Amino acid sequence: MRKLPTFQSLQCFEAAARHESYTRAAAELALTQGAVSRRIASLEGFLGVSLFRRTRHGVRLTEEGAAYARRISGRLDGLERDTLDAMARQGAGGSIRLASVPTFATRWLVPRLPAFARDYPNITVHIETRTRPFLFAETGHDAALYAGTATQMANWPGTRALPLMREDVVPVASPTLLSRRARWTPAAIAKAPLLQQTTRPEAWRQWFAAMGVESPAALAGPRYELFSMTAMAAVAGLGVALVPRMLVVPELARGELVVACDNPLPGDRHYYVVVPESRAGDPTLQAFSTWLQRATGVVATPTDD
């Protein structure tokens, strides 16, 4: 027998810990407050520790309760994902829980997933966004699409990273903003309003250095967390954005953005597919990784004889 409390008691505790309220937990779970209280008392008896303390305003987590809640919450989330995954697959094929940097997922990956579905109809891809490296053991993800340098990938513990494509960034802006000047030079861009990327705080400074241009205001300007936000700010005429060309193809095609200065910064950043070392031999992940490499031209696409 496993040393486990009942699922009902864990569910009540997780909801009560999240709200720090038995009343709100009861409303969420369609139970009475008394039922929630009894199940949490049962859990405390099972554990031999107090999870909540009474206050004049209700209940508050104890130190032990807060620590237990952090661990339990992630595991219940994982159990829910496993259940939804089984329901989605209906017993056939495999699935991949993919973490991805947001704009690459929406702009590059999702439009190509129909092709993947045709090649691998029994594999379901679930996507969540992540902007920074994480520990696979703590999240339940099977793979990640991430942009970074080879050094960053080497420092991501317990993983294997396969490069997919290099990230070359170019300055883009709305035609309205560009019409105020003739064709923009790097020196002209240095005097323009610049749009900053939160995850790439040194990007403009690096671009100006590569162009051999002084830019005291390289770090100035509004900051946006996602490339999609930066691109939309550029479309709105708020300034010049420094973005990977492949992520603004639709805006360039529609004429909403134009390349302000076609001098890309060929850096050492690539997009990678990252998998845990422990799952490197998984056939579903191997199929997905191989398809990604073919889609980005890293591996030649097989031809029919």
What's the half-sphere exposure (Cβ side, CA atoms, 13 Å) at 159?
26
According to DSSP, the residues that pair with 98 across neighbouring strands are 127, 143
**pLDDT level of residue 305 (50, 70, 90 thresholds):** very low
Domain boundaries, the chain: 7-83, 88-166+269-295, 167-266
DSSP 8-state symbol, 109: I
**Domain 167-266 homologous superfamily, CATH:** Periplasmic binding protein-like II (3.40.190.10)
The backbone torsions φ and ψ at residue 29, rounded to the nearest 5 degrees and listed phi first, read -95, 0
- Compute the residue count for the chain: 305
Q: Is the pTM of this model over 0.75?
A: no
Asked if 168 and 198 count as a contact pair (C-beta separation under 8 A), the reply is no
What does the pLDDT read at residue 300? 42
159's enclosing H/E stretch is: strand 159-173
pLDDT tens column, 209-221: 888 888 888 889 8
pLDDT tens column, 129-186: 887 777 777 777 888 888 888 888 888 888 888 888 888 889 999 988 877 555 688 8
According to DSSP, the residues that pair with 270 across neighbouring strands are 148, 166
Rounded to whole angstroms, the Cα distance separating 147 from 69 reads 32
DSSP 8-state symbol, 49: S
What does the pLDDT read at residue 261? 85
Q: How many beta carbons lie within 10 A of that of residue 135, not counting itself?
A: 12
What does the pLDDT read at residue 86? 64
What does the pLDDT read at residue 87? 62
- From 169, 154, 99, 149, select the one nearest 128 (Cα to Cα): 99
What is the topology classification, in CATH, of domain 7-83?
Arc Repressor Mutant, subunit A (1.10.10)
Rounded to whole angstroms, the Cα distance separating 205 from 57 reads 52
- Taking every pair of Cα atoms in the chain, the longest distance, rounded to a whole number of angstroms, is 78
Rounded to whole angstroms, the Cα distance separating 150 from 267 reads 11
Question: If one looks up domain 88-166+269-295 in CATH, what number appears?
Answer: 3.40.190.10
pLDDT tens column, 273-304: 888 888 878 888 888 999 998 888 765 444 33
What does the pLDDT read at residue 180? 55
- Amino acid code (one letter) for 276: P
Domains 88-166+269-295 and 167-266 in one fold:
yes
pLDDT tens column, 24-65: 999 999 999 999 999 999 999 999 999 999 888 888 999 999
For Cα atoms 49, 54, 60, give the angle at the middle one, nearest 5 degrees.
Answer: 75
What does the pLDDT read at residue 301? 41
What does the pLDDT read at residue 202? 87
Rounded to whole angstroms, the Cα distance separating 216 from 201 reads 14
Residue 266 vs residues 79, 89, 196, 209, 269: alpha-carbon distances, Å: 43, 41, 18, 13, 8
**pLDDT level of residue 266 (50, 70, 90 thresholds):** confident
**More confident site: 135 or 23:** 23
Residue 162 vs residues 101, 145, 166, 265, 293: alpha-carbon distances, Å: 16, 10, 12, 22, 8
Rg (CA), the chain: 25
